[in-house]
Structure 1
């Protein structure tokens, strides 16, 4: 049963292969190892993590935003080896409207297009809808990021449209943002079972 108030807070979420831990400075070294490749950040509004201190500064930025109630950040842990695979967040939390965004998701190259992202999305979606009682979960991505767009369609999200010239990028470019969403009736009407099947089908841990 969903809880009575819609209030996302830091919490540990776990499957048999992936754990999401509330983001903290203890994760900084592992985040740097996962996020030092510039390719990881191609479609995100900052550059690669330069060292562990830079990773700590980034964690501080996330936790400061978390203190306002607008974000909940997570470190993504590969339970097979204990390594940090990347990070994801609940963003743009709309308590009065029971809505939030899943975003700022990034993975080390070795974990991209593997079971890790599917497990991560399952944990965040099932917690949002089945525990918190969300009415709507949205996603946005750079419109050029075809890998992300395919992944969102694969989990059953609906494309809603593209905001043109939505964000300025660190390199001086401008990005269009493609928006997707899942609503509560879609989740209970088949998307939950669809994502669960994707998780079950990816337990071998291979590339998807």
Structure 2
């Protein structure tokens, strides 16, 4: 190369990101829905009702089959575990509160925040037996997704689960997440191998998904007993 020659500038690859992510992190503000509210988890306010939501209703510990923690046999061990979740920042843990009863009936979190790239994950999701397969459970997921895109401004929201956990994989697809593949031998959890299934929603997909959630959550989609009339359609 002669002295007068200049190296060529690198050719841009892929579309430019405009605007760039703002770097927002979860601040554990309460998330308000019609049937549920998500509050930052608290031992003092939620330990007893969370424990009551599964103790005696889940004799085989099925709630904890796919979790890295649990089962919990007594309130003291559960409260000790919950204390760590209350203090945690990434993950940021929420209790899912039934607005009618005021009782906590499950948990969820944001985790693996990547503000520079506008990405975050929702996980650590467990629903008590009484919360599973209810409109309240679906609304809790909607509130998490809506907050991520509309308030935190993410451009990518992730959902990951054990590849053998078919109910979680089915739920991810129902909520509009796109399957991306399997990370083989990703973790060792409770002494066994976990292959991880990856799913995501990206920002351009969110407006259509949001319309689907809002149509499903509308009052006129449920009968007097709270049963859905039409299935959730987000695609």
TM-score, length of structure 1 as denominator length: 0.89
Q: By how many angstroms is 1:4 displaced?
A: 5.4
**Residue 151 (structure 1) aligns with:** 171
Aligned-residue offset at 1:23: 0.6
Kindly indicate which of the two structures has a greater share of residues assigned to helix.
1
After TM superposition, the score normalised by the length of structure 2 is 0.79
In 2, distance between residues paired with 1:183 and 1:197?
20
Q: Aligned pair count?
A: 201
Measured against aligned partners, the alpha-carbon deviations of 1:83-140 in whole angstroms (never above 9, x if no partner) come to 2110000011112112110000001112111112210111111111011111111000
The correspondence of residues 105-184 of structure 1 with structure 2, limited to 5 A, is 105-170=125-190, 172-184=191-203
Moved over 6 A (4+): none
Q: CA deviation at 1:202?
A: 5.5
Distance (whole Å) between structure 2 residues aligned to residue 96 and residue 174 of structure 1 = 31
Equivalent-residue separation in structure 1 for 2:166 and 2:227 (angstroms): 20
Q: Which has the larger radius of gyration?
A: 2
Change (3 A) 1:156 1:202: farther
Once the two structures are TM-superposed, the CA of residue 10 in structure 1 deviates from its matched residue by 0.9
Alignment of 1:95-110 (within 5 A): 95-110=115-130
Q: Which has the higher contact order (CA 8 A, sep 6+)?
A: 1
Unmatched segments (≥5 aa) in structure 1: none
Corresponding residue to 2:92 among 65, 69, 72: 72
